[in-house]
Structure 1
Amino acid sequence: MRRQSVETLIAGLDAMHPERPFRVMNVCGGHERSITQAGLRSLLDKHIELIPGPGCPVCICPEEDIAQAIHLALNEQVILLSFGDMLRVPVFSHTEGPRSLLAARSQGADVRPVASPLDAVAIARANVTQQVVFFAAGFETTMAPVAAMVAEGVPDNLTVLLSGRLTWPAVAMLLSNDEQAFDALIAPGHVATIMGSDEWAFVAEQHGLPTAIAGFHGESVLAALQCLLQQRSDNRAQLVNCYPEVVKPQGNTQAQQLLREVMVVSAANWRGIGVVEDSGFTLRPEFATVNARVRFSELTDQSSFTPLAPPAGARCADVVLGRLYPDQCPLFGNECTPRHPIGPCMVSDEGACRIWMSSGMRSVDESKPTPEGV
């Protein structure tokens, strides 16, 4: 696909004036960050809506997995490692005690942020007399390097508490429940880099919705929008790759092979969403020695965690599912802020609420309808 300048792309968008609302879901938190920080919504026709979707791995990590990590950190004398965003994500249950990994650390737990699986291996090798647990939550782009780490072999004192998810099943679930949830899709470029652009063809082929793969620079996002609008104008639906310099139809086959060798896919719980079929990564039985849920067998007993309903007014699940914009949650910017997050969407750099607050965006244009159209 030929690269165009930002000026050319914006001019092309200006020439397109949809006569009715055109709701485009951008799945990835990285896309939402690019869109919001660049102020792209302010450049678009009032009928074009850009709806944040369920592409924040921290936001959808189930509370029971975080509770397991907190339990290990407090009760098993382990070094608990996690990607930085996860440390501040709150959980709500009837169980007394710290509500986040950061709170557990304040009570004496050895909780440390890491940036990659290589960091986890290095910490385990530097602390051979201690058990080290790597709480690995994320989508395909995170799971691929975790799979590579496990396949290469890890120190005997390192185990993995896995909370991995595939992205496309959540979008498929949204469309199976309501084919009118959105009118077009910007699919995540980083996931497609691993899994291939062809994985997203079902949106166009099965649901008749224009679909584009986009990268994270302004030109790629704008090119995807222009492509989607053109499809709408032509009354057609197909998958177009607007990130061809990185994304290939079949993706990274070596990374996919590692995922298949190390992990299996099964039904999995998504925070605020529920169980999504064929959406969760778990370690294969042959890697049981690396599985924290096997080494610390009490984690298999889920009865100790009883989730509470979200705090009154919290609409995290609706924001994740694209049913509400962040500012339409009554807690946004009031009780819930980046300094004092009520829900996960205000914690992660990929959470829509955090992105909007950090970018100074407090409300969407009131002339545009809500994602629900109400």
Structure 2
Amino acid sequence: MSQTSAKTWLALIRELELPRPVKLMNVCGGHERSITFSGIRGALPPDIEIIPGPGCPVCICPEEDLHEAIRLSLEEDIVLVAFGDMLRVPANVPKNEPRSLEQARAAGADIRPIASPQEAVAIARADPDKPVVFFVAGFETTTAPVAAMLAEGVPDNLLILLAARLTWPAVAMLLDSGEAAFDALIAPGHVATVMGPEEWSFVVDKHRMPAAVAGFTPESLLAATYSVLRQTIEGKPFLDNCYPELVRPGGNATAKRWLSEVMEVVPANWRGIGVIADSGFALRPAWQHLDARGVFPAPVEERRRAGQMPPGCDCAGVVLGKIYPDQCRLYGRACTPRNPIGPCMVSDEGACRIWWSSGLREPRVA
């Protein structure tokens, strides 16, 4: 399968006789980037749509957690570390206050972008007398290395502010709601590499919807597209693995063991969406002494629009696949990468940022 060229897959797709227009959802921000920059959407027949879904952890990171990270960095004598794409995500605060970690750093907070959990450990060891708070936002592929880091042991001054999520529950929520705006699913290959493709079997078993796991090349994405379209035509949905190079049944046993040992699965809030059952990670009791929320309890306060998207921002609709990025009321007007209003315009995995970076700069005319 992987040796078939993208050109061949496109030819096979164009030969299909679809009984109706078909809308596919891709869950992964990396998929969305590959689809957009390789021109897959424009190359497909017009009766096939691909919509971006809830695959950007930065986009759905709870606003309350982001605000807590900003508050801690400014009010406590700590070093705060976070993955780089979290630094520009906006929180809902008055105009005279820092609205992002980047602005908090400009105001004097000691905030350092990192690329791996090992960097957080190194920073903590270099300054053992100062608390280092690691603000962790991400999906399973990010959370597993953090769990491994904790299982292997960390300095006593390294604390965790956890905002990690599982990928599949958001899709399950959409399908269970009966409001899913798609007919088939392209499942994320990187998550399936860790957790196993079986994590997505509910799409087929419960909802009788075609599904295929894809990698990040145009060839793999088009193979997955062809697979779910064939399933649609034949009326025989199944979970296909179009990323066999890395995705194996059962996933990565070691990574899953770390996650199970260190984390427990809990209900969790998604920014602009609400609480989704069994969708978040929390530290198990043996590691709760490293929970920054326990060491630095948050004050009880009332804030305007706490937990919500900014006024006028339609990122929640983009994340849920209900609208395209350029249908947001702020896209290309008030919201640009230089001045991001919503989180989907910040991260390299955010659909709005991806579409803008590909050259689509104008909002869609209503």
Same-fold call, TM cutoff 0.5: yes
Correspondence for 1:345: 344
Correspondence for 1:235: 235
Post-superposition offset of 1:357: 0.3
Post-superposition offset of 1:3: 3.1
Amino acid at match of 1:82: A
Correspondence for 2:35: 35
C-alpha distance 2-123 of structure 1, shift in aligned 2 (>3 A): closer
Correspondence for 2:174: 174
Correspondence for 1:208: 208
SS at match of 1:207: coil
* Alpha-carbon distance between aligned partners in 2 of 1:358 and 1:210, rounded to the nearest angstrom: 31
Correspondence for 2:353: 354
Amino acid at match of 2:284: R
Amino acid at match of 2:77: Q
| RMSD (Å) for aligned C-alpha atoms | 1.8
Post-superposition offset of 1:355: 0.2
Amino acid at match of 1:25: M
1:309-320 → structure 2 map (5 Å cutoff): 310-320=309-319
TM-score relative to the length of structure 1: 0.94
* Alpha-carbon distance between aligned partners in 2 of 1:138 and 1:290, rounded to the nearest angstrom: 18
* Alpha-carbon distance between aligned partners in 1 of 2:203 and 2:196, rounded to the nearest angstrom: 14
Correspondence for 2:110: 110
Correspondence for 1:157: 157
Post-superposition offset of 1:229: 0.9
**Do 1:150 and 1:290's aligned partners in 2 also have CA atoms closer than 8 Å?**
no
* Alpha-carbon distance between aligned partners in 2 of 1:362 and 1:202, rounded to the nearest angstrom: 37
Correspondence for 1:283: 283
Amino acid at match of 1:325: Y
* Alpha-carbon distance between aligned partners in 2 of 1:238 and 1:163, rounded to the nearest angstrom: 32
C-alpha distance 108-365 of structure 1, shift in aligned 2 (>3 A): closer
**Do 2:189 and 2:214's aligned partners in 1 also have CA atoms closer than 8 Å?**
yes
C-alpha distance 334-11 of structure 1, shift in aligned 2 (>3 A): same
SS at match of 1:14: helix
* Alpha-carbon distance between aligned partners in 1 of 2:154 and 2:55, rounded to the nearest angstrom: 29
Amino acid at match of 1:106: A
**Do 1:197 and 1:247's aligned partners in 2 also have CA atoms closer than 8 Å?**
yes
* Alpha-carbon distance between aligned partners in 1 of 2:184 and 2:300, rounded to the nearest angstrom: 38
1:186-210 CA distances to partner (integer Å, 9 max, x unpaired)?
Answer: 0000000110001101101110110
C-alpha distance 63-96 of structure 1, shift in aligned 2 (>3 A): farther
* Alpha-carbon distance between aligned partners in 1 of 2:66 and 2:95, rounded to the nearest angstrom: 13
**Do 1:24 and 1:48's aligned partners in 2 also have CA atoms closer than 8 Å?**
yes
* Alpha-carbon distance between aligned partners in 2 of 1:225 and 1:103, rounded to the nearest angstrom: 42
Q: Structure 2: which 5+ runs fail to align?
A: none
**Do 2:2 and 2:220's aligned partners in 1 also have CA atoms closer than 8 Å?**
no
Q: Does 1:321 align with 2:327?
A: no
* Alpha-carbon distance between aligned partners in 1 of 2:362 and 2:246, rounded to the nearest angstrom: 34
**Do 1:53 and 1:321's aligned partners in 2 also have CA atoms closer than 8 Å?**
yes
* Alpha-carbon distance between aligned partners in 1 of 2:95 and 2:333, rounded to the nearest angstrom: 27
* Alpha-carbon distance between aligned partners in 2 of 1:326 and 1:208, rounded to the nearest angstrom: 28
* Alpha-carbon distance between aligned partners in 1 of 2:123 and 2:58, rounded to the nearest angstrom: 23
Percent of residue pairs identical: 59
1:102-159 CA distances to partner (integer Å, 9 max, x unpaired)?
Answer: 1101110001100010010011111122111100110000000000000111111111
C-alpha distance 205-249 of structure 1, shift in aligned 2 (>3 A): same
* Alpha-carbon distance between aligned partners in 1 of 2:364 and 2:210, rounded to the nearest angstrom: 24
C-alpha distance 302-95 of structure 1, shift in aligned 2 (>3 A): farther
1:252-263 → structure 2 map (5 Å cutoff): 252-263=252-263
Post-superposition offset of 1:14: 1.5
Correspondence for 2:76: 76
Amino acid at match of 1:41: R
Q: Structure 1: which 5+ runs fail to align?
A: 367-373
Correspondence for 1:148: 148
**Do 2:331 and 2:363's aligned partners in 1 also have CA atoms closer than 8 Å?**
no
SS at match of 2:206: helix
Post-superposition offset of 1:313: 2.8
SS at match of 1:88: coil
C-alpha distance 310-165 of structure 1, shift in aligned 2 (>3 A): closer
Post-superposition offset of 1:334: 1.2
**Do 2:187 and 2:213's aligned partners in 1 also have CA atoms closer than 8 Å?**
yes
Post-superposition offset of 1:312: 4.0
**Do 2:22 and 2:49's aligned partners in 1 also have CA atoms closer than 8 Å?**
yes
Post-superposition offset of 1:8: 1.1
**Do 1:349 and 1:355's aligned partners in 2 also have CA atoms closer than 8 Å?**
yes
Amino acid at match of 2:261: E
Q: Does 1:87 align with 2:87?
A: yes
* Alpha-carbon distance between aligned partners in 1 of 2:72 and 2:218, rounded to the nearest angstrom: 42
**Do 2:204 and 2:238's aligned partners in 1 also have CA atoms closer than 8 Å?**
yes
C-alpha distance 40-49 of structure 1, shift in aligned 2 (>3 A): same
**Do 2:132 and 2:158's aligned partners in 1 also have CA atoms closer than 8 Å?**
yes
Correspondence for 1:54: 54
* Alpha-carbon distance between aligned partners in 2 of 1:183 and 1:75, rounded to the nearest angstrom: 48
SS at match of 2:163: strand
TM-score relative to the length of structure 2: 0.96
SS at match of 1:229: helix
1:56-115 CA distances to partner (integer Å, 9 max, x unpaired)?
Answer: 000000000001101110011111000011000001146962111011011100011000
* Alpha-carbon distance between aligned partners in 2 of 1:336 and 1:189, rounded to the nearest angstrom: 30
